[in-house]
Chains A and B, each alone.
Chain A
Amino acid sequence: MPEKLLKKTACTLSPLGDSAIVITFGNGMEYSVHKKIKLLKDLLEDEPFAGFIECVPAYTNLTVFYDPLVIYKEQNKSNGNETTSPFEMVRSILEMKLQDLKEDKKLIHRTVTIPVCYGNEYGPDLEYVARYNDLTTDEVIHIHSIGEYLAYMIGFAPGFPFLGGLSENIATPRRSSPRMTIPAGAVGIAGMQTGVYPISTPGGWQLIGQTPTKLFLPNVNPPSLLQAGDIVKFHPITDQEYKEMILKEGVQ
Chain B
Amino acid sequence: MSLRVIKPGLLTSIQDLGRKGFKQHGVIVSGAMDAHSLRIANMLVGNEEGEAALEITLMGPTIKVEKNCLISITGGNLSPTLDNKVVPMWKPILVKNGSILRFEGCKSGCRAYLTVAGGFAIPEIMESKSTYLRAGIGGYMGRALKAGDVLEFNEPSKNLDDRTFFKGSFSFPKWFVNEKEFMPGGKPHIRFIDGSQYEYFTDSSKDSFVERLFKVSNQSDRMGYRISGPALKLKDNGELLSEAVTNGSVQVPPDGNPIILLSDSQTTGGYPKIAQVITADLPIIAQVKPGESIQFLRVNLKEAERLFLQKERQLNELKVSISLALKKWLDI
By a beta-carbon cutoff of 8 Å, the part of chain A in contact with chain B is 1-2, 14-20, 22, 28-29, 53-61, 63, 65, 68-69, 72, 85-87, 153-160, 162, 198-199, 201, 216, 218-219, 221-224, 227-228
* Chain A residues whose C-beta falls within 8 Å of the C-beta of B164 in the assembled complex: none
Whether A59 and B26, one on each chain, are in contact in the complex, defined by CB atoms closer than 8 angstroms, is no
A56 and B241 contact, CB distance less than 8 A: no
Q: Is B243's CB under 8 angstroms from A87's CB? A: no
Closest chain B CB from A41 CB (angstroms) = 8
Complex: how many Å from CA A55 to CA B219? 30
Pairwise interchain contact B279-A158, C-beta atoms closer than 8 A: no
Q: How far is the CA of A103 from the CA of B194 in the complex (A)?
A: 32
- Shortest A29–chain B CB gap in Å is 7
| A22 and B309 alpha carbons, distance in the complex (Å) | 21
B 3-32 contacts with A by CB, 8 A: 20-28
Q: Shortest CB–CB separation between residue A210 and chain B, in angstroms?
A: 19
B86 in the interface (beta carbon within 8 A): no
Q: A22 contacts B244, CB within 8 Å?
A: yes
**Which of B52-60, B107-115, B175-183, B299-307 contacts the other chain?**
B299-307
Tell which of B25, B276, B308, B312 has the most Cβ of chain A within 10 Å: B25
Bound CA–CA A162/B242 (angstroms): 9
Question: What are 9 inter-chain pairs, A to B, with CB distance below 8 A?
Answer: A18-B279, A18-B301, A18-B308, A22-B243, A61-B243, A61-B244, A68-B308, A158-B27, A218-B137
In the complex, chain B residues whose CB is within 8 Å of the CB of A218:
125-126, 135, 137
B278 proximal to A (CB < 8 A): yes
Tell me if B304 and A54 are in contact (CB < 8 A): no
B124 to chain A, nearest CB (A): 11
- With contacts A58-B244, A155-B268, A219-B125 taken as known, whether A17 is within 8 angstroms of B279 at the C-beta atoms is yes
Interface: B139 (CB within 8 A) = no
Task: State how many angstroms separate the Cβ of B205 from the closest Cβ of chain A.
Answer: 17
Q: CA A17 – CA B276 in complex, angstroms?
A: 5
Residues of B within 8 A of A17 (CB): 193, 246, 248-249, 276-279, 304
Q: Specify which of B22, B25, B193, B245 is in contact with A15 (CB 8 Å cutoff).
A: B193
Partner of B246, one of A20, A69, A159: A20
Question: How far does the alpha carbon of A164 sit from the alpha carbon of B26 in the complex, in Å?
Answer: 17
Interface residues, chain B, CB within 8 Å of chain A? 20-28, 125-126, 134-135, 137, 193-194, 196, 198, 241-246, 248-249, 266-268, 276-279, 301-302, 304-305, 308-309, 312
Judge whether A54 and B242 touch: CB under 8 Å. no
**Chain A residue at minimal CB-CB distance from B266:** A156
Which of these, B137, B246, B268, B301, contacts A2 with CB under 8 Å? B301
Q: Which residues of A contact B277 (CB under 8 A)?
A: 17
In the complex, are the beta carbons of B26 and A160 less than 8 A apart? yes
Of the candidates A1, A14, A16, A87, which one forms a contact with B244 in the assembled complex, judged by CB atoms under 8 Å apart?
A16
| A87 contacts B305, C-beta separation under 8 Å | yes
Report how far A86 CA is from B278 CA in the complex, Å: 14
> Are B243's CB and A63's CB within 8 A?
yes
- Which residue from B21, B194, B308 sits with its C-beta under 8 Å from A1? B194
Give B262 Cβ to nearest chain A Cβ, in Å. 13
